[in-house]
Amino acid sequence: MKRRAILLVVGVFGLLLTLPLWASPYTVSLATLFLFFAYAGQAWNIMMGFAGLLSLGHALYLGVGAYTVAALYDHFSIGPWVGLWLALALCGLLAAAIAALAFHYRVAGVYFALLTIACAEFARIGFDHFNWVGGSGGLFLKVVEPGRMDLFNLRGPPAMFYYLILFLAGTALLLSALLLRSRAGYYWQAIRESEDAAAALGVNRFRWKMLAVIISGAMTALAGMFSAFYYSNLFPEQLFHISRSIEIILGPIIGGVGTLFGPIIGAALLTVLAEGATEFVAAVGWDVPGVKQLVYGIVLFAIVAFLPEGIWPALARKLKLRQ
Amino acid sequence: MACARTQAEAAPMSASLAVQHVSKSFRGLQALADVSFEIQPNTITALIGPNGAGKTTLFNIIAGAQTPDHGAIVLDGCRIDGLRPDQICRLGIARTFQIVKPFARLMVLDNVVIGALSCCTRVKDARERADAILGMVGLGSKRNLTSAMLTLPDRKLLELARALATRPKLLLLDEVLGGLRPTECDRLMALLRDITEREGISLVLIEHVMRAVMALARTVIVLHHGEVIAQDTPANIVREQAVLDCYLGEPFSV
């Protein structure tokens, strides 16, 4: 990476690090939303962007991760920092099971994507009737009095959640960068570009695809944990819904699938545009339900038509961050 | 080039390969019928024959991309048929694809690094090895291009470079010389001879460029309708009536 690229990353990170000190609560909540999608988008990007495995059902890992940590906290008072390990393991295992099934029966491409949707939908309907965690009525976490901060139980002010998701998104970026430069990154990209050629060069396709799926699924579990404790309520219809899966993948697709910064840029743009449009419509006094989805649609349409590689590759060329 | 010791390196560098009574059919179409031959260590063997003779199918079977219906593939005394392509690669057989399969969105160098990673433990070593091999095949100046930007002859060189990077004992080359300009062809022929003589890698070439076949091969195997119809030295093969009838046509002078 070039010096100016590093400077840019450090600059933006510095800005984000001090954000709660100078920005309004509304801006902080907006930035939290942006970082949430930046994090989840990066998790998805490892599977699709790096290894070429299209998942349209990442809401499954979001939901299972959220419910695992929240249920342990609610029923057994097990803190989220302990529960997250179970969520990681569970989602990794779940991802591995689905992928093993798919690879064994040679379910690939579009059919693989359909399988991931089916699994997420199955979970949504299942959790609707899973009364131990509230069923379709939802699960609610105890809210503490405002102003108190309990990092150990993840109860506290919005700024705490902001820093938590900033940490997660930053770590995900670091992890993605490391993975991409490792044997795994090379092998994933080889598999993405041509499975036959990869195999002929000694790449064990099954093993490396499984690794991508497990890392991606487990990472998304943490997004679920964050979501559960940030909002303090969990509904199957929200967490497992296919629109959640779509929201997760929009960022990377708009920013640039398979790139390091694409998911982050995409998430930033989408959050600003969607929230901006919502605010604008409210301010003007128009009644446009679903304006957010409308913005998503228009942005997606523009990207597919004009920048099919996504924003980041074009932006990087423009800023001369790459050759 | 610091490369980790692997199976491929610990074993004797050159390999002997035996194809024993291999048959393969696709929905009634007999692609290969009872094909048998042996490849001696440290030699160049050419596999020729008309289109549809079964040459590429044979490569696919040796490299593990397809399994034979009958018969066995034996590498240095061990049966390898039924193993996966990646396992066979790690045992020391590398191959190129006739219809080239570059990792299109990756840089030329990274394409070769992926091959080199099968014998190098560290990515840094693999990059050094890939760089050296790109220089050897003459793609050094194009190392930082996206491989989708290469011309077809260059993509064939890239196939060769990737395969070489895996440190093979036996290299299966599927029409790498076709489409090259005569000077390029001569350079690559010299390189192939060098690979065999200096590095001790056995080569099997599927090739239609008869000039190269005559100059390089010690043994020529002729496939026709999935059967081996002749197997001899180049000088003798061009006088074989069956070969003239089905493939070469008129008498070929050396």
> B2 pLDDT band (50/70/90 cuts)?
very low
In a domain, A191, yes or no: yes
The residue of chain A with its CA nearest to that of B144 is A323
Q: Classify B22 as helix, strand or coil.
A: strand
| pLDDT at position A320 over 80 | no
- Please give the pLDDT value at position A143: 80
- Please give the pLDDT value at position A146: 73
- Please give the pLDDT value at position B13: 61
Give the helix ranges, DSSP H, for chain B: 7-10, 55-62, 85-90, 108-116, 123-137, 152-165, 182-199, 210-216, 234-237, 241-243
Number of domains observed in the structure of chain A:
1
- For residues B93-98, give the mean pLDDT: 95
| pLDDT at position A269 over 90 | yes
Predicted TM-score (pTM) of this structure: 0.91
Tell me the β-bridge partners of B25.
B30
**Spatial distance between the Cα atoms of B13 and A56, rounded to a whole number of angstroms:** 47
**Spatial distance between the Cα atoms of A205 and A184, rounded to a whole number of angstroms:** 11
Any idea which residue has 């064939």 for tokens? B156
**Spatial distance between the Cα atoms of A240 and A59, rounded to a whole number of angstroms:** 5
One-letter identity of residue A217: G
| pLDDT at position A323 over 50 | no
- For residues A33-61, give the mean pLDDT: 97
> B176 pLDDT band (50/70/90 cuts)?
very high
- Asked if A83 contacts A276 with a C-beta cutoff of 8 angstroms, the reply is no
In a domain, A72, yes or no: yes
| pLDDT at position B246 over 90 | no
In a domain, A310, yes or no: yes
- For residues B42-67, give the mean pLDDT: 94
Interchain CB distance below 8 Å, B101 and A199: no
CATH 3.40.50.300 fits B13-106+169-248, yes or no: yes
- For residues A28-57, give the mean pLDDT: 97
Interchain CB distance below 8 Å, B114 and A200: no
- Please give the pLDDT value at position A4: 81
In a domain, A70, yes or no: yes
One-letter identity of residue A134: G
Q: Which residue has the higher pLDDT, B250 or A232?
A: A232
- Please give the pLDDT value at position A322: 62
Interchain CB distance below 8 Å, A196 and B102: no
A259 chain-B contacts, CB cut-off 8 A: none
Interchain CB distance below 8 Å, A197 and B103: yes
| pLDDT at position A275 over 90 | no
Asked if B102 reaches chain A (Cβ–Cβ under 8 Å), the answer is: yes
- Which range of residues forms the domain containing residue A110? 3-318
Tokens of A314: 């074009």
Interchain CB distance below 8 Å, A186 and B105: no
Q: Which residue has the higher pLDDT, A1 or A98?
A: A98
Asked if B105 reaches chain A (Cβ–Cβ under 8 Å), the answer is: yes
Q: Which long-range CB contacts under 8 A does B231-235 form with residues at least 24 apart?
A: B231/B37, B234/B46
- Please give the pLDDT value at position A277: 86
A127-167 confidence digits (pLDDT tens): 999 999 999 999 999 887 777 788 888 888 899 999 999 99
- For residues A293-322, give the mean pLDDT: 87
Average pLDDT, chain B: 90
| pLDDT at position B9 over 60 | no
| pLDDT at position A69 over 60 | yes
Query: What separation in angstroms does the CA of B132 have from each of B89, B137, B197?
Result: 20, 9, 18
Interchain CB distance below 8 Å, A201 and B104: no
Residue A175 burial class via C-beta count within 10 angstroms: exposed 0-12, middle 13-18, buried 19 and up: middle
Q: Which residues contact B209 (CB under 8 A, 6 or more apart)?
A: B177, B178, B185
- Please give the pLDDT value at position A8: 85
Residue A187, domain CATH: 1.10.3470
- For residues B97-120, give the mean pLDDT: 96
Residue extents of the structural domains in chain B: 13-106+169-248
In a domain, A157, yes or no: yes
- For residues B83-100, give the mean pLDDT: 95
Give how far B249 is from chain A: nearest CA, Å.
Answer: 35
Asked if B92 reaches chain A (Cβ–Cβ under 8 Å), the answer is: no
Q: Which residues contact A29 (CB under 8 A, 6 or more apart)?
A: A158
In a domain, A323, yes or no: no
> A291 pLDDT band (50/70/90 cuts)?
confident
In a domain, A217, yes or no: yes
> A279 pLDDT band (50/70/90 cuts)?
confident
In a domain, A8, yes or no: yes
Taking alpha carbons only, the member of B225, B156, B202, B245 closest to residue B46 is: B202
Interchain CB distance below 8 Å, B103 and A194: yes
**Spatial distance between the Cα atoms of A308 and A146, rounded to a whole number of angstroms:** 45
| pLDDT at position B5 over 50 | no
Q: Which residues contact A221 (CB under 8 A, 6 or more apart)?
A: A61, A62, A64, A65, A68, A84, A87, A88, A90, A91, A92
- Please give the pLDDT value at position B252: 53
| pLDDT at position A283 over 90 | no
Q: Could you say which of B102, B103, B123 has the minimum Cβ distance to residue A183?
A: B123
- Please give the pLDDT value at position B253: 54
